[in-house]
């Protein structure tokens, strides 16, 4: 028993005593564990170290896992200094339970209200206080295509409209290639849906359905068309699609076996691994038409409640560093995303990222990912319906009705 007490005591002294290190010590929980992601998180850590802090890294694979560990640690009375969440309503409950420290003075100092896209602000700012530091913007619905496959199928130009996209897919099929490389996992089905909703339905319908949960819009003709287009895309996938990882689908593009994949900008990392570069080996299309929306998804850090002045100092410093322009660019270059602020030097970024940043300059084209408008629960319920529809033959009217029921507040 004595021994137990000793161990418990030493654990205690560790957490208490750890603060008096060189600079403010920050333990950060995140889920960036793969090779490219590790390089990205290193830029954040380096920036923090340069600012005089000590970064203690706690990497835990998979977002759900990392977030639940953060929540558990908060509950167990041993919170980290900062924890990663998505740019979404995931941490709203934490805010409402008073478990996070606001970082208002950093936000005011840096002028977040002017700096950040409204879509991001709507998540970060709760009742006038700022609770999360956004680090990047991912765009989940890029349309990637293999130049080799296009060439083989005799496709000269990249598609400019949805109809052209379908024509391209038909041509790819005729050439004996897999038209649409898709990983049949629920979250990937959801990405394809989001892409179709944004490009076929348009910004207005997108917001009506996902943000306003407007029953009339959901059961209307326009949304029906969206769902039918979504389902039509399924017919362009191959038999091995269900269950496939996204990077295996990307590999099919890399090998020239498949033509098109709808996937987030992180897919660039997979192309880079295979020594392929944008514009030369593969192309990226953010959307169709001059007004096509740019879907915003991304990562933020929240700062669990603590009264320890050293820890609060670390949290403030961390938040400031994360939004510094240099950090933002360096981070996104490694991560494949784009900075959350548009006032940065983009010259070092790749073709697709520059294309994205150009679109982001137009505020009217900002549009949030589903998670920004829906609770995690609603988003999940929607995913369930979509993935069932994608895989089964269901009447589209039933799907509309199911979605309306799932999104009912």
Partner 1 sequence: MTAPRSWWKVRPGHFSAGVALLPLALIVLVAYVGTVLWTLRVSLTNARTFPSDVYVGLAQYERLFQNERWLLSLNNLALYGLLFISLSIALGLLLAVFIDQKVRGEGLLRTVFLYPYAMSFVATGLVWQWLLNPELGLQNAVQALGFAGVQFDWIVDQDKVMYTIVLATVWQASGFVMALLLAGLRSIDAQIWNAARIDGIPTWQVYVFIVLPMLGESIATVFVLLLTATVKLFDAVVSMTQGGPGNASEVPAKFIMDHLFGRANLALASAGSVVLLLTVLALVAPLLYARSRYHRRGERL
Partner 2 sequence: MSGRIPVARWGIYFFLLGAALFFLLPAYVMLVTSLKSMDEIRLGRIFALPGLLTAEPWISAWSGACTGLNCEGIRGGFWNSVAIAIPSTVLPILLGALNGYALSFWRPRGSQTLFAVLMAGAFIPAQVMMYPLIQILAALGIFGSLVGIVLVHTIFSMPVMTLLFRNYYVSIPTELFHAARIDGGGFYRIFFELVLPMSVPIVTVAAIMQITGVWNDYILGLVFAGREHLPMTVQLNNIINTTTGTRLYNVNMAATILTSLVPLAVYFASGRWFVRGITAGALKG
- Choice from 19, 23, 39, 365 touching partner 2 (CB under 8 A): 39
| Cβ-based nearer residue to partner 1, 65 or 216 | 65
| Cβ-based nearer residue to partner 2, 257 or 401 | 257
- Choice from 13, 50, 65, 161 touching partner 2 (CB under 8 A): 65
Under 8 Å between Cβ of 126 and 108:
no
Is 186 a binding residue for partner 2 by CB under 8 A? The answer is no
Residue 301 interacts with, from partner 1, partner 2, none (CB under 5-8 Å by kind):
none
Residue 4 interacts with, from partner 2, partner 1, none (CB under 5-8 Å by kind):
partner 2
Residues 222-261 that bind partner 1 (CB under 8 A): 238-245
Longest dimension (CA), the chain: 77
| Cβ-based nearer residue to partner 2, 209 or 252 | 252
Instruction: Return d(Cα 72, Cα 5) in angstroms, integer.
Output: 23
Distances in whole angstroms, Cα of residue 187 to Cα of each of 239, 264, 364, 385, 392: 19, 11, 26, 12, 16
Please, what sign has the CA dihedral across residues 387, 392, 395, 398?
negative
- Choice from 19, 51, 69, 324 touching partner 2 (CB under 8 A): 69
> Residue 158 Cβ, how far from partner 1 at the closest point, in Å?
26
Is 228 a binding residue for partner 2 by CB under 8 A? The answer is no
Is 11 a binding residue for partner 2 by CB under 8 A? The answer is yes
Is 21 a binding residue for partner 2 by CB under 8 A? The answer is no
Is 184 a binding residue for partner 1 by CB under 8 A? The answer is yes
Is 277 a binding residue for partner 2 by CB under 8 A? The answer is no
Under 8 Å between Cβ of 349 and 332:
yes
Is 71 a binding residue for partner 1 by CB under 8 A? The answer is yes
Instruction: Return d(Cα 238, Cα 268) in angstroms, integer.
Output: 22
**What tokens appear for 405 in the block?**
């029921």
> Which residue's entry shows tokens 């130049």?
147
- Choice from 88, 101, 199, 251 touching partner 2 (CB under 8 A): 251
Residue 38 interacts with, from partner 2, partner 1, none (CB under 5-8 Å by kind):
partner 2
> Residue 298 Cβ, how far from partner 2 at the closest point, in Å?
11
Is 286 a binding residue for partner 1 by CB under 8 A? The answer is no
Is 397 a binding residue for partner 1 by CB under 8 A? The answer is no
**What tokens appear for 205 in the block?**
């319908």
C-alpha Rg value of the chain to the nearest Å: 22
Instruction: Return d(Cα 47, Cα 302) in angstroms, integer.
Output: 18
Instruction: Return d(Cα 283, Cα 157) in angstroms, integer.
Output: 11
Using the contact rule CB under 8 A, the part of the chain among 310-318, 336-344, 346-354, 388-396 near partner 1 is 388-396
Residue 45 interacts with, from partner 2, partner 1, none (CB under 5-8 Å by kind):
partner 2
Is 16 a binding residue for partner 2 by CB under 8 A? The answer is no
| Cβ-based nearer residue to partner 1, 25 or 89 | 89
> Residue 53 Cβ, how far from partner 2 at the closest point, in Å?
13
Distances in whole angstroms, Cα of residue 409 to Cα of each of 183, 376, 378: 31, 13, 9
Count the site residues for partner 1 by CB under 8 A: 33
The end-to-end CA distance of the chain, in Å, is 52
Is 390 a binding residue for partner 1 by CB under 8 A? The answer is yes
| Binding-site ranges for partner 2 (CB under 8 A) | 4, 7-8, 11-12, 14, 27, 30-39, 41-42, 45, 55-63, 65, 68-69, 72-73, 75-78, 138, 187, 245-248, 251, 254-255, 264, 266, 269-270, 273-274
| Binding-site ranges for partner 1 (CB under 8 A) | 64-65, 67-68, 71, 90, 93-94, 97, 184-186, 238-245, 375-377, 379-381, 384, 387-392
């Amino acid at each position: 028993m004595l021994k137990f007490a000793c161990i418990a005591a030493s654990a205690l002294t560790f957490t208490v005593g750890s603060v008096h290190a060189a600079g403010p010590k920050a333990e950060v929980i995140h889920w960036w564990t793969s090779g490219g992601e590790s390089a990205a998180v290193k830029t954040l850590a380096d920036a923090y170290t340069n600012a005089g802090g000590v970064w203690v890294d706690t990497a835990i694979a998979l977002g759900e896992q990392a977030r639940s560990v953060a929540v558990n640690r908060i509950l167990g009375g041993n919170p980290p200094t900062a924890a990663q969440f998505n740019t979404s309503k995931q941490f709203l409950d934490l805010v409402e339970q008073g478990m996070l420290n606001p970082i208002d003075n950093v936000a005011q100092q840096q002028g977040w209200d002017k700096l950040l896209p409204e879509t991001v602000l709507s998540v970060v700012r709760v009742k006038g206080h700022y609770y999360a530091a956004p680090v990047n913007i991912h765009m989940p619905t890029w349309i990637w295509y293999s130049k080799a496959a296009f060439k083989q199928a005799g496709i000269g130009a990249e598609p400019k409209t949805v109809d052209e996209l379908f024509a391209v897919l038909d041509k790819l099929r005729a050439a004996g290639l897999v038209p649409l490389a898709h990983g049949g996992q629920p979250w990937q089905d959801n990405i394809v849906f989001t892409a179709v909703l944004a490009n076929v339905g348009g910004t207005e319908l997108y917001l009506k359905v996902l943000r306003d949960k407007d029953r009339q819009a959901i059961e209307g003709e326009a949304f029906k068309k969206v769902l039918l287009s979504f389902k039509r895309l399924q017919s362009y996938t191959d038999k091995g699609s269900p269950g496939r990882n996204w990077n295996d689908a990307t590999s099919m593009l890399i090998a020239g076996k498949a033509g098109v994949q709808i996937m987030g900008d992180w897919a660039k990392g997979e192309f880079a691994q295979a020594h392929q570069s944008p514009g030369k080996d593969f192309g990226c299309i953010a959307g169709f038409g001059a007004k096509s929306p740019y879907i915003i998804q991304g990562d933020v850090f929240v700062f669990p409640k603590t009264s320890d002045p050293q820890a609060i100092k670390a949290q403030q410093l961390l938040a400031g560093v994360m939004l510094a322009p240099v950090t933002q660019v360096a981070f996104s270059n490694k991560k494949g995303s784009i900075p959350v602020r548009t006032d940065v030097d983009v010259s070092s970024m790749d073709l697709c990222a520059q294309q994205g940043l150009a679109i982001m300059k137009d505020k009217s084209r900002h549009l949030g990912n589903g998670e920004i408008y829906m609770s995690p629960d609603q988003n999940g319920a929607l995913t369930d319906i979509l993935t069932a529809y994608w895989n089964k033959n269901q009447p589209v009217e039933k799907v509309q009705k199911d979605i309306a029921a799932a999104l009912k507040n």
